[in-house]
Amino acid sequence: MTAPPDVAIPSPEGVDDASVIERSWHEPERFGAIFDAYFTEIHRYVARRLDVHVADDIAAETFHAAFRKRRTYDLTRGDARPWLYGIATNLIGRHRRDETRKYRALARLPIDGGATGHEDRVAARVSAQQQVRGPLADAVAGLPAKQRDVLLLVVLAELSYEEVAQALGVPFGTVCSRFNRARRKLREALGGTNPLRDEERTR
């Protein structure tokens, strides 16, 4: 079997993701519970980073890849979210130019949201919650890919630094370093204003 099953078997209450994934090794249909639990938020993350038009395909590909790799999952980690976000982030990496183009489009939008063209309207819609526009969007577009990944896993996916480290397969200290560098560049681009104050308090 090479794809997640169409019909999921519900997971018993209180069973963690690792147990579900382990059971899916011999009962593949059980992996559908992972899809049901996390597809919506993975789709939302992809849409915010890229575009609503490609989010369906990339989110679906994330779960196809996860299903194929399920026997390699670290069963000591009860929560599969960081693993899934890591797969999604790697797939997003194939669309770096599209992501940069999106943030450049957002940079052209006025802060109060006067979108005119189709591309601008789409960009405004998928980013409305984060208000990533103007100089901030331009600064995000200019970040190196690895720093942008860390930043957006924290800000959009709301992962902790430890979860980001798990998602990307890098040391905790590397995550902190990349986030701090991204924060510094954003602050410089915004004339000293720190747009990540809330995230820093909660991580």
Token pair, residue 88, equals 């999604």
Least confident span in 85-89, 101-105, 143-147: 101-105
Query: What total of structural domains would you count in the chain?
Result: 1
Q: For residue 30, give the DSSP letter.
A: G
Give mean pLDDT, residues 6-22: 73
Query: Which phi and psi angles does 141 have, rounded to 5°?
Result: -60, -30
**Token output for 105:** 């489009």
Q: Which domain holds residue 126?
A: 17-202
- Per the domain annotation, does 1 fall within a domain? no
What mean pLDDT comes out for the span 14-19?
88
Q: Considering the domain boundaries, does residue 119 fall inside one?
A: yes
Give the pair of three-digit tokens for residue 13.
């209450």
pTM for this structure?
0.78
End-to-end distance of the chain based on CA atoms, in angstroms? Answer: 39
Which residue from 143, 149, 134, 19 is spatially nearest to 93, judged by alpha carbons?
149
Is residue 3 one of the residues assigned to a domain? no
pLDDT at 125 over 80: no
Q: Is residue 109 part of a domain?
A: yes
Please state the separation of Cα 156 from the chain's center in Å. Answer: 6
Is it the case that residue 142 has pLDDT exceeding 70?
yes
- CA-based diameter of the chain, in Å? 56
Taking the CA of residue 69 as centre, how many other CA atoms within 13 Å lie in the half-sphere pointing to its CB? 13
Among 46-55, 107-116, 137-146, 167-176, which stretch is predicted with the lowest mean pLDDT?
Answer: 107-116
Structure tokens at 181: 């560098």
Please check whether residue 51 is in contact with residue 98, taking contact to mean a CB–CB distance below 8 angstroms: yes
Is residue 11 one of the residues assigned to a domain?
A: no
